[in-house]
Structure 1
Amino acid sequence: MASRKAGRKWPALAALGFLLLAGPALTAEQAFRIDPPAQDLPAAEMQSASIVLAGGCFWGVQGVFQHVKGVTSAVSGYAGGNARTASYTLVSTGQTEHAEAVEVTYDPRQISLGRILQIFFSVAHDPTQLMRQGPDVGPQYRSAIFPANEAQRKVVAAYIAQLDASGAYRKPVATKVEALNGFFPAEDYHQDYMTRNPRQPYIVINDAPKVDNLSKLFSDLYREKPVLVFAGG
């Protein structure tokens, strides 16, 4: 479903009517704080690390992590397919193997991989839905993590197992761990979308609540001013 992208803005009443007719599954997630991973990577001396996260529309995932302390960059893009098909027009067909994803680059001296994952599973998306987030349906909106290396993969796999064993959710975690064959930044108009379009109905209904949940559930990691891809938003 490509109902809210390509720079188009929903008329507010039409968007609200659609969501009401579609039912409560299409409203913003009711987030809650979950335990951090029992297994994490040790604090590193290196200044930068990154991991690619896919959890529905990249506007919201990017918007959340741009407000996280220790994150130095959050770039919307595509992962799972190849360079030839890494464009919004093609990815929107759901036939490219790509997922809308965000490359989160962070300073391991300030925030650990485990805390990044805790936020991802708590407020950035609903990890119990595999091929759907809110009003968006299809493999391009799947829940997936693309670790940068084997150490990250082990932490991610262990955390998914931990969450399932703890019964944190009413349903099993559907998030898949996939090989990172490349990350391809999305078109410029998709970058910093939440900051540049705060009153767009899709953002107001689906994504702004995620940032609000971040500020409430992770006040120690929340920063008011987002780190943007383009200076000035």
Structure 2
Amino acid sequence: MRLALIVPLAAASVFAIVFQAARASGSERRVVPLPVGTNPGGAGAGTPLKPAAGHQLAIFAQGCFWGTEYRFRQVPGVLATAVGYTGGQTKNPTYEQVGDHGTGHAEAVLIEFDPAKVSYARLLEIFWSSHDSTSGNRQGPDVGSQYRSAIFTFGPEQQAQGLASRDAEQKKLVDRITTEIAPAGPFWKAEDYHQQWDEKHGYESCPLPRHARAKTGS
């Protein structure tokens, strides 16, 4: 069956995205193909994911996706979000499969935003300031490649801005930034119970105080 993915921050603010339900490990799973081309295979193949007119998409990974989603949902101009898995090889992975480190995916948040209200450059500033970009495959107590720092970009302009922001951030830090910056590939929407986890439970579950060491005078 075909369903509409609606992840609102407000009644008039939704993802206008259509996706297709699929089956994996005996339970319903959903895949959200990306707007750059189409998902190369699996459920939902050929179904484009497009933001509403005048809006843009961004994908960030910075550890546990519960906390990442919560932080970006507080930003004026961010219209809607969904957490999921991206940057890996396996189609339609489950949370358990990603956690076993065999799929190569990162936990990430897909964001729809209004560039007239918040710029991509501002989202990058929030990204860099809200986690440790030098810690490799971990954030705080969470260890594994699924918790790596990454920016998945939509188009050459976002790619250029991401790389430039990384260079600027590196000048402030002692340790080498390990953040991956790459064009967005298939984004697999996570299980429903992960979506807006912190809002459902009434607290920020994955606070990520920044621990990257700044250079003296930075």
- Do both proteins adopt the same fold according to a TM-score greater than 0.5, normalized to the shorter chain? yes
Aligned partner of 2:195 in structure 1 is: 191
- CA deviations 1:90-143 (Å, max 9, x no partner) are 1111110100000111001111000000001112x2111120001111111110
Distance, in Å, in 2 between the alignment partners of 1:174 and 1:82 is 20
Secondary structure of the equivalent of 1:105?
strand
Matched, 1:118 2:125: yes
Q: CA deviation at 1:82?
A: 4.2
Q: What residue is the counterpart of 1:78 in the other structure? A: 85
Under a length normalisation based on structure 1, what TM-score does the superposition of the two structures give? 0.64
Check conservation: 1:52, 1:104, Cα contact below 8 A. yes
**CA shift at 1:196, angstroms?**
1.3
How far apart, in 2, do the equivalents of 1:149 and 1:91 lie? 26
Maintained 8 Å contact 1:85/1:91: no
Partner of 2:182: 178
Structure in which a larger fraction of residues adopt strand: 2
| Residue 141 (structure 1) aligned with residue 172 (structure 2) | no
The equivalent of 1:56 in structure 2 is 63
TM-score by length of 2: 0.68
User: CA offset at residue 195 of structure 1?
Assistant: 1.0
C-alpha displacement of 1:172: 2.4
- Paired residue for 1:40? none
Distance (Å, rounded) in 2 between the aligned partners of 1:103 and 1:171: 28
Work out which structure has the larger RCO, using CA pairs closer than 8 Å and 6 or more positions apart in sequence: 1
Runs of at least 5 residues in structure 1 that lack an aligned partner in the other structure: 1-45, 214-233
Contact 1:82 1:182 in 2 (8 A): no
Looking at structure 1, the residues matched to 91 and 170 of structure 2 have their Cα atoms a distance apart, in angstroms, of: 36
In terms of fraction of residues, the more helix-rich structure is 1
String of CA shifts for 1:152-181, please: whole Å, max 9, x gaps.
00000011011112x2x3322221112321
Which residue in the other structure is 1:106 paired with? 113
* Identical-residue share of aligned pairs (%): 36
| Counterpart in the other structure of 1:217 | none
Partners of 1:171 and 1:50 lie apart in 2 by: 30
Query: Which residues of structure 2 form unaligned runs of 5+?
Result: 1-52, 211-218
Residue 163 of structure 1 aligns to which amino acid in structure 2?
Answer: E
Tell me if the contact between 2:128 and 2:169 (Cα under 8 Å) persists in the aligned partners. no
1:127 matched to which residue of 2?
133
Aligned amino acid, residue 148 of structure 1: F
- 188 and 151 in structure 1: CA distance in 2 versus 1, 3 angstrom threshold: same
User: Does the 8 A contact of 2:60 with 2:150 survive in 1?
Assistant: yes
What is the RMSD of the two structures over their aligned residues, measured on CA atoms?
1.9
Shift of 1:150: 1.1
Query: In the alignment, which of 92, 99, 102 is matched to residue 92 of structure 1?
Result: 99
- Cα distance, 1:85 vs structure 2: 4.3
